[in-house]
Structure 1
């Protein structure tokens, strides 16, 4: 995983975690990276100083672990995500179109999951269509 410091076109700064540079580029090209403040998808990486750690710091990082409460919380999140996925139809990149059809009664009402850009999700919400992002947990990408 790599952490990038990001800035939107309106100078709001935030950070994002990606599996690599290609993952950032792909998500940016697909409009999936948006500013949490203004929603802009015009996002760029900021200059960052490299993180250099000593052997002692590396050892400390390797021994860090989740406490019992955190492990239980992640287990509940994973269980909830599994339930959502098991009870929803994956419509892939047709998500915005299918969500609208369901909302306007043009398709049968059912749970769906899929992909939508930040702009598409914002447009759905503005239309009164209830959508929510599904989290990607650390184990899902490592």
Structure 2
């Protein structure tokens, strides 16, 4: 569905919803659209700004993500690009277990999971910290 701002030959303005731009054109050609004020069938689309949805998270979700980030960053060690090696070494008993977070590409993360090493993607990009 698409909403168009319309005007008639008498300069009355109104809006209406249509299945598509093509559907609007078909209805206008058949004179099946008329002005809601004067009934004129000479109707055209008027200039309009597109409606663009924003992808910002609502405040409650932003607050939850911020709290999750704070907890992870204060309770886990950032190991950066060493994440895969560190996770594997802990799993294999070569280093003591501890909470860590860092960077891994999809292939590396999938391989860790296939090998029984529990990993989860973060819903945020970690801030770069020194190792």
Match of 1:136 in 2: 124
- Cα distance change, pair 105–65 in 1 and its aligned pair in 2 (3 A): closer
What are the ranges of 5 or more consecutive residues in structure 2 without an aligned counterpart? Answer: 1-46
Q: Where in structure 2 are the equivalents of 1:9-20 lying within 5 Å?
A: none
In structure 2, C-alpha distance between the alignment counterparts of 1:82 and 1:134, rounded to whole Å: 12
Q: Structure 1: any 5+ residue segments left out of the alignment?
A: 1-53
User: TM-score with structure 1 length normalisation?
Assistant: 0.49
Give me the whole-angstrom Cα distance separating, in 2, the residues matched to 1:127 and 1:55. Answer: 55
The number of aligned residues is 80
- What is the RMSD computed on CA atoms of the aligned residues? 2.7
Q: Greater share of helix residues, 1 or 2? A: 1
- Shift in Å, 1:65: 8.7
How far, CA to CA, are the matches of 1:130 and 1:65 in structure 2?
30
Give 3-state SS (helix, strand or coil) of 1:56's partner: coil
Kindly report structure 1 stretches of 4+ aligned residues shifted beyond 2 Å: 64-67
1:74 and 2:67 are equivalent in the alignment: no
Aligned counterpart in structure 2 of residue 120 of structure 1, from 81, 90, 108: 108
TM-score if structure 2 supplies the norm length? 0.52
Q: Is 1:90 matched up with 2:83?
A: no
Paired with 1:94 and 1:128, the residues of 2 have a C-alpha distance of 18
